[in-house]
Structure 1
Amino acid sequence: MSDTPAQRLLLVHAHPDDESIGQGATMAKYVAEGRGVTLVTCTAGEMGEILVPELEHLAADRDDKLGEHRRGELADAMAELGVTDHRFLGGFGRFRDSGMKWHAEGYAIAADDIHDNAFWRADLTEAADLLVEIIREVRPQVLVTYDQFGGYGHPDHIQAHRVATYGAALAAVPSYRTDLGESWDVPKIYWGAMSESRMRAGLRALRAAGDTTSFEGMDPDGPLPHFVTPDDNLAAMVDAEDHVDKKMAALAAHKTQITMDGPFFALSNNVGSHAWGAEFYRIAKGEQGPLGDDGLETDLFAGIDS
């Protein structure tokens, strides 16, 4: 008798911490329910900003050891969520964090200087083939990644979207790279999203509590960044409020990237656990299954036969 879970989720993320921010509660919920959860991280986040002063020597322009440190943070975060299958695309160090800079209009773009081994420069087919092998091994019914803009424009997020999309397409072709395993067509693909109505409500609560610095520059009644999704474009909401403590513990494990007094914890403190316990998705492939009272799927596996 196989011990492989009947339902299997595969997530493709760019850097350590992206997974906990975007889908940490969903991951914890599905693990607790006995579903398979596999995380693929495409880089070690070597170019990330370091928020812990005593670890600033790890920066890329100094000791260049941040990636190895974040590898440990990711392991700690996955332990908090209960995820035991987490991998780096092509193995640790195969692709390097590309870094980024901010465009004048407030979204991320590629940095001026990019390492030769940067993920942004990776050959798309080469990187996709590495994911094809994982898809054919895990055989997930659901894949989660970013939208085509990578949420906020980060080149590694955009590249992760491309690799996940192309990799899923190639994995389904029976005659393609048979050495990478038997073909598998992922039934449903989602892009992680953030609800506009929930974000506006959260911002109002923060401002009403006197917090003017968290999510600085965002007006509850004004334009919001690209990563905030109009509710009409949402397809699913996983209510994992019972597991939000695990998500917050996973966020806290990414110590070099996320501070306890930062916006994620501020929103949770002022709005409550539902602020981060409900995670939203746009459907990119497949059909919606049965819908909940609010017109959204309540389970990413909805409508899929085990």
Structure 2
Amino acid sequence: MPDTPDQRLLLVHAHPDDETINNGATMARYVAEGRGVTLVTCTAGEMGEVLVPELEHLAYERDGGLGDQRLEEITEAMSILGVTDHRFLGGFGRFHDSGMAWHPDGHAIAGEFVPDNAFWHADLTVASDELVRVIREVRPQVLVTYDQFGGYGHPDHIQAHRVATYAADLAAVPSYRLDLGEPWEIAKVYWTAMSEGRMREALRAIRESGDTETFAGMEPDGDLPPFVTPDDLITTEVAADDLVDLKMRALKAYRTQIRSDDKAFGGGESGHAFWGSEYYRLARGTAAPGPDGRETDLFAGL
């Protein structure tokens, strides 16, 4: 393809907003550097929580229509970040948001009601083939998705991990489904992570400021939820502090999902926002760490 960047990143996420929370600064940095960024979102987030009173009628359990709203939101967010290649897995609406419930232990699980066409119920090979088609078209050197628990247990996050992992394998098989494109092997696969050290540092600053509401239930020296990753498991830190404002602007595009007064996503000016550095675990490929023992670029060594 003409004007195809030499280095290409593919991200696989479950719902609109997941990509910006986890990887917005990374995406903005690579776009600014002229690298290719392709985002695949697996569902439209039709069963997400609506946090804006004037849009509550869009909730799945009321009038519905939240998926169309979140399509508008992710379109705006990607425009802010500069990402021009965004796709829904199999096309918009192919796989439905599965919903979730909270386990007493504090992690997400599948809810009592899961729609028949939910992503959680999707045949793994069928869903993976849709991603194989994208992988073989885009031919990324790097893939980013969740860990095996989806960060915090959401069934769609777990399924996104499974689909991304299986599709990466299938896409490389020389004899597999050549109707989906020429085989391609992804050199490096990463799982998203949130640094335990960075989180404790931020929590300490938040609590010392007198704020007891942000990240309620989490304390600097207490137990942390499963989406927080021990620092010794983190292989890569991508810093884009100069682009954090873009990330925060993109987050604000998700009007139904993130309250405008939410201090946790308050932006670089809040004094405890730590969103300019994003963390990863190398799940496949060869690490190329810098002097401090961590990679600073997902494409390091390629």
Match of 1:279 in 2: 278
Deviations 1:84-141 (A, max 9, x none): 0000000000000000000000000000011000000000000000000000000000
How big is the shift at 1:269? 4.0
1-side partners of 2:130 and 2:160: how far apart? 12
Kept in 2, the 8 Å contact 1:51–1:257? The answer is yes
Match of 1:159 in 2: 159
Match of 2:177 in 1: 177
Kept in 2, the 8 Å contact 1:214–1:266? The answer is no
Match of 2:234 in 1: 234
Q: What does 1:70-89 correspond to in 2, within 5 Å?
A: 70-89=70-89
Range moving further from structure 2, 191-200 or 259-268 = 259-268
1-side partners of 2:166 and 2:263: how far apart? 34
Deviations 1:167-201 (A, max 9, x none): 00000001000100000000000000000000000
Kept in 2, the 8 Å contact 1:206–1:267? The answer is no
2-side partners of 1:188 and 1:23: how far apart? 16
Letter in 2 for 1:231: D
Percent identity among equivalent residues? 69
Range moving further from structure 2, 293-302 or 255-264 = 255-264
Structure 2: tracts of 5 or more residues without a match: none
- Assess, with a 3 A threshold, how the Cα gap between structure 1 residues 212 and 293 changes in structure 2: closer, same or farther: farther
2-side partners of 1:65 and 1:208: how far apart? 41
Match of 1:295 in 2: 293
Kept in 2, the 8 Å contact 1:52–1:255? The answer is yes
Match of 2:93 in 1: 93
Kept in 1, the 8 Å contact 2:145–2:191? The answer is yes
2-side partners of 1:254 and 1:267: how far apart? 14
Letter in 2 for 1:295: G
Kept in 2, the 8 Å contact 1:38–1:83? The answer is yes
Letter in 1 for 2:297: D
Deviations 1:250-294 (A, max 9, x none): 100011001122143347444356x100000000000101x2343
How big is the shift at 1:298? 0.4
| SS at structure 2 position matched to 1:21 | helix
Normalised to the residue count of structure 2, the TM-score between the two structures is 0.98
2-side partners of 1:36 and 1:264: how far apart? 29
Structure 1: tracts of 5 or more residues without a match: none
Kept in 2, the 8 Å contact 1:9–1:143? The answer is yes
Figure out how many residues of one structure are paired with residues of the other and give that number.
Answer: 302
Match of 1:265 in 2: 265
Aligned-pair RMSD on alpha carbons? 1.2
Letter in 2 for 1:119: F
1-side partners of 2:282 and 2:134: how far apart? 21
Match of 1:53 in 2: 53
- Assess, with a 3 A threshold, how the Cα gap between structure 1 residues 158 and 263 changes in structure 2: closer, same or farther: farther
2-side partners of 1:263 and 1:190: how far apart? 28
Match of 2:189 in 1: 189
Range moving further from structure 2, 263-272 or 209-218 = 263-272
2-side partners of 1:168 and 1:249: how far apart? 32
Q: What does 1:197-236 correspond to in 2, within 5 Å?
A: 197-236=197-236
1-side partners of 2:291 and 2:202: how far apart? 22
Letter in 1 for 2:112: D
| SS at structure 2 position matched to 1:229 | coil
Deviations 1:67-87 (A, max 9, x none): 000000000000010000000
2-side partners of 1:36 and 1:270: how far apart? 31
Range moving further from structure 2, 236-245 or 293-302 = 293-302
